[in-house]
Amino acid sequence: MQVQTATIREATENDLEAIIALFADDPLGGHGDTNDPQALPDYSAAFRKISTSPTETLYVAELDGEVVGTFQTMVTTTMTARGATSLIVEAVQTRADMRGRGIGAVMINFSIDKARADGMRLVQLTSNAVRTDAHRFYQRLGFTPSHIGFKLKLK
């Protein structure tokens, strides 16, 4: 079932409650996200850090005035590929009751279009190894699983 196209816009502090709810409702994320009001200062501090960064942007997907998805982008320049600039997409989340309706594709295609318009070399993202549905989704959008990622948890 396809819904009307979601609107992508930069997140504001007023969106925090909805963004937090998206992550807190994710049983696979394993990030310890919560709707507990005592955690709000942590989320607010993260929002301020992202919103003042010259290379990071937090977005929301909005449909009928409601936040139905979120994602974050980061611009990075590396010494490889002769100093190429790339767009990293992170923290992609669609509200559980809205999955399968094209909202994720709108968010990812927005990122791809922005990277193209800004002359970037590539768009890259990581996905939790257990999210096989998400892997198929990204491959349908043209992404290839070309690298293996590693993480070391410090906290």
* 119 falls within a domain: yes
* 1 falls within a domain: no
* 155 falls within a domain: no
DSSP 3-state assignment of 15? Answer: helix
Q: What CATH number does residue 63 fall under?
A: 3.40.630.30
Instruction: Identify the bridge partners of residue 124 per DSSP, sorted by sequence position.
Output: 88
Q: Evaluate if residue 149 carries a pLDDT over 90.
A: no
* 2 falls within a domain: no
* 118 falls within a domain: yes
* 89 falls within a domain: yes
* 81 falls within a domain: yes
Distance (Å) of CA 149 to CA 64, 70, 110, 124, 154: 37, 22, 24, 12, 16
pLDDT digits (tens, 9 = 90+) for 23-76: 998 877 667 788 888 989 999 999 999 999 999 999 999 999 999 999 999 999
Domain that holds residue 14: 7-140
Number of domains into which the chain is organized? 1
Burial of 150 (0-12, 13-18, 19+ CB in 10 A): exposed
Per-residue pLDDT averaged across 101-108, rounded? 95
* 54 falls within a domain: yes
Confidence at 145, pLDDT banded by 50, 70, 90: very high
